[in-house]
Amino acid sequence: MAHEQAKERFVESMVQVMDFTSRILPDDVFDKLKELQAAETSDMQRVIYDAYFDNLEKAKELKRPCCQDTGILHFYLSAGTEFPHLGMVEEALEEAVRRASAQIPLRQNTINYFEERNTGDDTGERVPWVHWDLLPGSQDLEIITYFAGGGCCLPGRSKMYKPSDGYQAIVDNVFDAVADLGINACPPLVVGVGLGHNIENAAVLSKKAYLRPLGTRHPHPKGARFERDLTEALNRLGIGAQGLRGENSVMAVHVESSGRHTATIAVAVSVACYAHRRSLVRFHSDLSFEVLSHKEAGH
């Protein structure tokens, strides 16, 4: 396939991907919200969950984004080292966002720092934000598309500790962050905790943590237990949907970790709101693609 033809096909496919991702929540998130709705006991919580689901239904029906804050577009790529179109991917993603911004349409959210001006098309300096990982030997390209809203997903918090502060500092940090950040988001939240050796790697890990499918667990048994304990404890805060009193503050807590330096403990917390607009698609070498996150992908 000629380069320009391949690029055009990829751009149009990614516009479709952003379109359904902006309107329809992934299956795991939708199912979890239904489960949490059933567990709420107060009339107020029932009304809020009904409003959430009514909003999601209308977004589908009217073909509009399910939240006015369509955020900044983040793409987390797992790129096969044998995928034949790697060279055009970043440029094509930028073009796809530009088209999606006009066609879906998306709210124009990207500001240039030094001109203090809205770019008008949701692209800009290093926007969309693209993160690359490699899939050795694969011919596929997997893309997580994420709409990172300004009240929930883009805030977040990173902090360095000394080992003498103890691992209790990690727990305190998570609770402080969720109590602070949760107020501006729309709970129930997905909480991503990154445990690393510096601010940079902890922050990236916290983001990867909340992008993980719900129901998955940290591979280390103690990491998995830490996730379960934090979920249970955060749910005792009594922050329900929309920040009003309720039974469940979080959909899940996910932890991602790396080795740490003997002298450092790095903790980052990122939170995602109920409108957790993430999709996972897999492109093959002929640029056909399959949607892995949504049964009802709308394409």
Residues that bind ligand SF4 (CB under 6 A): 67, 69, 149, 151-152, 185-186, 273, 275
Buried b (16+ CB within 10 A) or exposed e, 239-270: bbbbeeebbbbbbbbbbbbeebeeeebbbbbb
Which of residues 51 and 102 has its CB atom nearest to ligand SF4 in the complex? Answer: 51
The structure tokens listed for 246 are 């309720």
Q: To the nearest whole angstrom, how small is the minimum distance from the Cβ of residue 159 to ligand SF4?
A: 23
Which of residues 33 and 67 has its CB atom nearest to ligand SF4 in the complex? Answer: 67
Which of residues 186 and 253 has its CB atom nearest to ligand SF4 in the complex? Answer: 186
Which of residues 53 and 88 has its CB atom nearest to ligand SF4 in the complex? Answer: 53
Q: To the nearest whole angstrom, how small is the minimum distance from the Cβ of residue 298 to ligand SF4?
A: 20
C-alpha–C-alpha distance, residues 125 and 121, integer Å:
12
Q: To the nearest whole angstrom, how small is the minimum distance from the Cβ of residue 55 to ligand SF4?
A: 9
C-alpha–C-alpha distance, residues 261 and 96, integer Å:
40
3-state per-residue secondary structure call for 113-160 = CCCCEECCCCCECCECEEEEEEECCCCCEEEEEEEECCCCCCCCEEEE
Long-range (24+ apart) CB contacts under 8 A made by 117-123 are 121/97, 122/70, 122/72, 122/73, 122/97, 122/98, 123/94, 123/97, 123/98
Q: To the nearest whole angstrom, how small is the minimum distance from the Cβ of residue 152 to ligand SF4?
A: 4
Q: Would you give the DSSP letter of residue 296?
A: -
Q: To the nearest whole angstrom, how small is the minimum distance from the Cβ of residue 274 to ligand SF4?
A: 6
Which of residues 9 and 276 has its CB atom nearest to ligand SF4 in the complex? Answer: 276
C-alpha–C-alpha distance, residues 18 and 2, integer Å:
24
Question: Residue 272: in which H helix or E strand, if any?
Answer: strand 265-272
Q: To the nearest whole angstrom, how small is the minimum distance from the Cβ of residue 107 to ligand SF4?
A: 10
Q: To the nearest whole angstrom, how small is the minimum distance from the Cβ of residue 271 to ligand SF4?
A: 9
Report the SS3 class of residue 112: strand
Which of residues 151 and 213 has its CB atom nearest to ligand SF4 in the complex? Answer: 151
Q: In the complex, which residue's CB is closest to ligand SF4?
A: 149
Which of residues 54 and 232 has its CB atom nearest to ligand SF4 in the complex? Answer: 54
C-alpha–C-alpha distance, residues 209 and 256, integer Å:
5
